[in-house]
A and B are shown apart, each in its own frame.
Chain A
Amino acid sequence: MTAAEIEAKAKEIKRMVIRTVTGAKGGHVGTSLSEVDILATLYFGVLNLDPAHPDLVDRDRFILSKGHGSEGLYCSLAAKGFFPREVLGTYLRHDCPLTIHPTRHVPGVEMNTGALGHGFSNAVGVALSARLRKRGYRAFVLTGDGELQEGSNWEAAMSAAHFELGNLTVIVDNNGLQLSDRVDRTMRIEPLDEKFRSFGFDVHKVDGHSVPELLGILSALDYGGKKPHAIIARTTKGKGVSFMEGVPEWHHRVPTPEEGERALKELEL
């Protein structure tokens, strides 16, 4: 798929996110919009996956460590064909697998996440399994930036470099906001690029809303090499909806029906 086609998919997924959250009256709309351009690039331009066979041994694995971005993931999986789009209408209903944080009950989800600081280690395990088996599948993990305050991530980073896992890529959704405030006012994590580089990573800083840039970098990484990759993707929480962009309360606030309509209109432009 070309970058332009992926951009169109991303916009479509963002509209699906707005409808899903507004319909369910719950979710994390800001954080999901922050990640959709990255997820669309991964699912439509990078990951080697077969939605009809989600358990293929040689599939690439994507782990959403920032599990509260579940709507972005569910809408990407539905757009990719892992399950029918109508299922998104059941989001947050009792006895429905589309829970607020993702679980393996949803086709295409690799690990149950939601507690922060877990997915990176899981991805190290996946990448190690591929290396031990001499298989070509790769591990991708998306973390939040505030999430990197969890020390377990740095245990994972140390081990990814130590085990020389070039088949592992960590992408940081670097929107600069966490639940209650700006990341830099809460607990500074910068300079992220220098931190990852000092841990032994191949580091790239990209515009996390530029599909051509994301696609270019993710297509050019040396996955067979010895250095794991860190992509620090500068993003905006609530991207694409003017009244949500960069506003911390949209981490968890649910759009009213009117706000949902306004958001959908903006995403059609």
Chain B
Amino acid sequence: MSACLRETQVDTYIKLVKAGLDMVYLVSDSVSTSKIKPFREAFPDRVINVGIAEQNLLGIAAGLANGGFVTVTGNATAFLISRSNEQMKVDVSYTNSNVKVNGLHAGFSYGTDGCTHHEPNDVSVVRGFPNFEIYAPCDPAECAQVTEYALTKRFGPVYISLNTGNFPVITGGGYRFVPGTPVQFAQGADLTVVALGTAAHDVLAAARDLGGAAAMDVFCVSSVRPLDFGPIADSIRKTGRALTVEQHSTHGGVGSLVAEGIAERGLGAKLRRLGVPEGSYTKNWTAPDNKAFFGLDPAGIRKAIVEILAER
């Protein structure tokens, strides 16, 4: 069964408030974007709409956190990362406010609304802000756990990057989200593949298409910060080569994380990064067309894997 990550979050909010969590949810006219209506119907006083004013959104959020609320914001990350950048830095990160910031429609998942609405740099930018923990959940089950952790276990800033669409559960029935731990989906000795968040779905589809032709360790980094790079490093020591896949710029996302990990540990492995190449705009196209253009769909990932394996 597939589900929308935002709707999964809203279900989690309702459950947590019913259990006694003192939270408020802030939108900047982004009522439909955040899919918050069921929560607002249940708790009308806990949703605050600041209008189309993203700087004010984050500034007010920090003030509400100062007043003791677990404060959550939800808007399109394209209008968050750039427009509210200094509020993210000063009011939330530097002040270390207990604010949970949801970046919705991450990557190019806003589709044909185009470059103004796309944000392939959110993880990269938030990595520049200390105090923020950063997550990109890969499926509804993990999204619910990340959300519950962020609101109930973590006192301080959290950024959650959410891709758009319905996603099936791939983490398995007994999966327990642990901050910092990469999720491993498959094992193999030929190649290490690391996906950011929901890009794991396309990697797994590519792996299925390849059948037994590629023996790969497949990881998903849904916990960008904190991140225990140890399991990925161990895998790269074994395979000697890595591929990263993300609906994000190749600068500052999981491609950069893996490159840094390889260099800092002296792993000497070859790395190929699939994503939106640094210095490129996305296309004003649908998300599937952008995926195909940047080689991030299963066919593109499969092609990259075949090419890498043919190099040896």
**A residues in contact (CB < 8 Å) with B:** 57, 61, 103-104, 110-115, 117-118, 120-130, 132-133, 139, 151-152, 155-156, 158-159, 162
Contact = CB atoms under 8 A, between A and B. Distances in A.
Given A125-B65, A128-B64, A114 B90 contact: yes
A208 B275 CA distance: 56
B299 interface: no
Contacts, number: 104
Q: How would you classify the secondary structure of chain A's contact residues: helix, strand, loop or mixed?
A: helix
B128 to A, nearest CB: 15
A227 B51 CA distance: 19
B86 A125 contact: no
Interface residues of B, number: 30
Interface in B81-99: 86-87, 89-91, 94-96
A228 B91 CA distance: 22
A61 B63 CA distance: 10
Closest 6 CB pairs of A and B: A125-B63, A129-B67, A121-B59, A155-B56, A125-B60, A155-B53
9 contacts: A111-B66, A113-B90, A122-B59, A126-B64, A129-B64, A155-B50, A158-B51, A159-B51, A159-B56
Nearest to A156: B56
B55 A155 contact: yes
Contacts of A121: 55-56, 58-60, 62-63, 87, 91
Nearest to A139: B63
Contacts of B86: 115, 118
Given A121-B56, A152-B56, A132 B66 contact: no
Contact of A125 (B51, B66, B90): B66
B68 interface: yes
Interface in B101-154: none
Nearest to A117: B55
B46 to A, nearest CB: 8
Given A61-B66, A120-B59, A159-B60, 17 more contacts: A61-B67, A110-B66, A111-B62, A112-B91, A115-B90, A121-B55, A121-B58, A121-B59, A122-B59, A122-B62, A125-B60, A129-B64, A129-B66, A129-B67, A132-B45, A155-B56, A156-B60
A122 B86 CA distance: 13
Contact of B95 (A104, A127, A129): A104
